Structure 1
């Protein structure tokens, strides 16, 4: 179960609890200076959490998505940038664990990720393509037993700090834009030329600058499944579910601060209900609604997940996990709902706390939370997602809202 709304939740296991404490200590500095959360990521390494999703047979922790969601949400409460780095890292690790372990190169590399605690980053966006992850302009070229690719990426989150890159490209020079593969590229096989800077409103520690990316390596570094399969079965579900955990963490913390503010008001005015109490009720209900949406989807994914070292416990039908267009629509609508509702909750927290929340440096400050949560509607832009989801809903044959 994810953390209770506006409460401190259950005690965290020791490893992630230490990481959360480190992330909290440096969160304001990360935001103020727009720098990568080095200390928190180093703590993740020291606790073995960058290999959390890797199966235990390969030296990882074999963590479920529910485990990772709890960890991501806890990080989101204290440092949204650290939470987003952790979520994006595991959305990429899911591509290897879910679709590469039957291949010798990727199976050995998964073990290396766990042993060396390598940080993975995604390169899916491209100049001229924008946020459409299902199209590529660049192509993989294979000649004389060597794989090469060149990609113009407008944003690579924490690219200057990652150890490994998972890069999308057309399968070959004659492939159409949607005929894509995903390539695993260790940093020592890449040349990266920065093409921009990162001075953003929020999520400042993700350091998402652009690069001209050049890579060369073995053809075995191309994941054996098509990117269409990887995206639908692993990358999109894991990214949307873990992003949602991070965003709800931000909202929960903002509302927790608002509740502490109201309690302080109530202590000063015995017998009077603080004027912001009605807003707290509404916002708490919105958090409960998000949790009711997110929790079952995570449980369904885990029940039939490909991210296991062995066969899944259930089929998608048995677990109630949607497939095909229904799954894509469900995940898209989750992203839309969480990104917009979490922003509404943080704004309500700001209204409750008033100037004490608006000002930086108070125990009730929620300015950083508001700036960070605004990014949720832009990672992949909600207008694009809504348009795509509308097409999916029009194409579905089932009645909408049936049980």
Structure 2
């Protein structure tokens, strides 16, 4: 594994520089359910696409803490863009830690320069969103490994320069023998299917696609058939940490906007800033944000500590903490947004043409509990908790 990332002190400044672009385009991206091309272009130019690429490959050498902080900043402008960025970083982390050195040397410098935006293809019509099982097999040929994939949902897939794709290892393999493969866009025949007309997160443009490609075995990420290790050590922790940071960033922005309204001399007369009820509601909103932030910090530090010491994340306690982070952040961030709408009222909080996008935050954050479903994670966490008789709390 490559573990020389020591931090990116300029990353937050870079995120703040691109933030005006996100703010400017967020409403149009949401209204048209289109991919935030302007925001991605700004991220490419900023160097942030290489946030987690080690410096000796030309990247920023950022840490998990840098990812958390940058994702929060971006999510204050556009949650769709922030999630696209966080998921790209998830793919980058897998390459950094599990790709063969020759492949890292070929692709990571291009990611660092903003030339490659990575998307992931993990959903299947046959197996749904079950990350650790695969239906579509890799087929060995004289030219390499043939893959044929039909994915119902791929975030940003129509705009990606390359993909990390989960496949069943071979036609004769069991469904849990899953292999992760890098596919460059030029190596594949890709057709896009369906449309993305969602309640929220409309800018992710998560349409389906079918893919046919032949790739060399050198583009297998990790060991053939051993995607579970990549998932446990990289995919899942980066997802839960990155997503939670994004949700926290949007929920924090909602409270920031609400406080600005309440402190304004032009606030509606219906908002009595001296009201005890208002004070209690604001306190409850802040309480939820503090809880997400604190638990996110603890889990991020735990994962970083394990990585720094060369310890595996494949333990019941660590997996419980990661799952609970995702579940808690999804639930509480949505509650924050909902309460902000309630306090702001019909005119400011609920209308789509309000100058403050409370209703967009609400629609976007409603997806959090559905994005790798909380119900599924709760079931898995319950089973893990039954195996942890020591009850090792974080």
Q: Same fold (TM over 0.5)?
A: yes
1:346 aligns with 2:344: no
Deviation per CA, 1:54-98, whole angstroms, max 9, x where unpaired? 111011111111111111111111101100100110111111011
Matched, 1:262 2:262: yes
Q: Which runs of 5+ in 2 are unaligned?
A: 1-9
Ranges in structure 1 where 5+ consecutive residues have no aligned partner: 1-10, 306-311
Is contact 2:127-2:135 (8 Å) kept?
A: yes
Deviation at 1:49, TM superposition (A): 1.1
Q: Deviations over 1:314-345 (max 9, x none)?
A: 344xxxx9642222221111111110111111
Question: Could you tell me whether the CA contact under 8 Å between 2:157 and 2:206 is conserved in 1?
Answer: yes
Aligned to 2:95: 96
- Residue 54 of structure 2 is aligned to residue 55 of structure 1: yes
In structure 2, the partner of 1:387 is: 379
Deviation at 1:261, TM superposition (A): 2.6
Quote the residue 1:151 is aligned against: 149
Q: For residues 53 and 12 of structure 1, what CA distance do their matches in structure 2 show?
A: 11
Secondary structure of the residue aligned to 2:367 is helix
C-alpha separation between the residues in 2 aligned to 1:347 and 1:271? 19
Give 3-state SS (helix, strand or coil) of 1:128's partner: coil
Q: Which residue of 2 aligns with 1:140?
A: 138
For the Cα contact (< 8 Å) 1:120–1:166, is it kept in 2?
A: yes
**Residues 262 and 277 in structure 1, CA contact (< 8 A), matched pair in contact too:** no
Asked if the contact 1:350/1:358 (under 8 Å) is kept, the reply is yes
Task: Judge conservation of contact 1:261–1:364 (CA < 8 Å) in 2.
Answer: no
Counterpart Cα distance in 2 of 1:274 and 1:253: 23
1:113–1:13 distance in 2 versus 1, CA, 3 Å: closer
The 5-angstrom pairing of residues 166-205 of structure 1 reads 166-205=164-203
Provide the residue aligned with 2:369 in structure 1.
377
Distance 2:58 2:274 in 1: 57
What is the SS of the residue equivalent to 2:352? coil
CA distance in structure 1 between the aligned counterparts of 2:315 and 2:174, rounded to whole angstroms:
22
Give the Cα–Cα distance (whole angstroms) in 1 for the partners of residues 272 and 255 of structure 2.
22
| 2:84 aligned partner | 85
1:25, 1:156 → 2: CA distance?
A: 25
- Cα separation, 1, equivalents of 2:144 and 2:44: 32
1:108-150 CA distance string (max 9 Å, x none): 2222322353100000010121111111001111222411101
Displacement of 1:103: 3.1
Change (3 A) 1:224 1:74: same
The count of residues paired between Structure 1 and Structure 2 equals: 380
1:155-166, aligned counterparts within 5 Å?
155-166=153-164
- After superposition, give the CA deviation of every residue in 1:256-305 in whole Å (9 maximum; x if it has no partner): 12222322379869983374221110110111111110012212323343
- Bigger mean CA deviation after superposition, 14-23 or 255-264: 255-264
Cα distance change, pair 273–264 in 1 and its aligned pair in 2 (3 A): farther
User: Considering only aligned residues, what root-mean-square deviation do their CA atoms show, in Å?
Assistant: 2.1
Distance 1:84 1:119 in 2: 13
User: Residue 203 of structure 1: CA displacement?
Assistant: 0.4
- C-alpha separation in 1, matches of 2:173 and 2:314: 26
Check whether the contact 2:327–2:374 (CA below 8 A) recurs between aligned residues: yes
CA contact (8 A) 1:51 1:60 kept: yes
Matches within 5 A, 1:284-295: 284-295=286-297
Other structure's SS at 2:182 match? strand
Separation of aligned partners in 1, 2:273 and 2:51: 49
Whether the 8 Å contact between 1:148 and 1:215 is mirrored in structure 2 is: yes
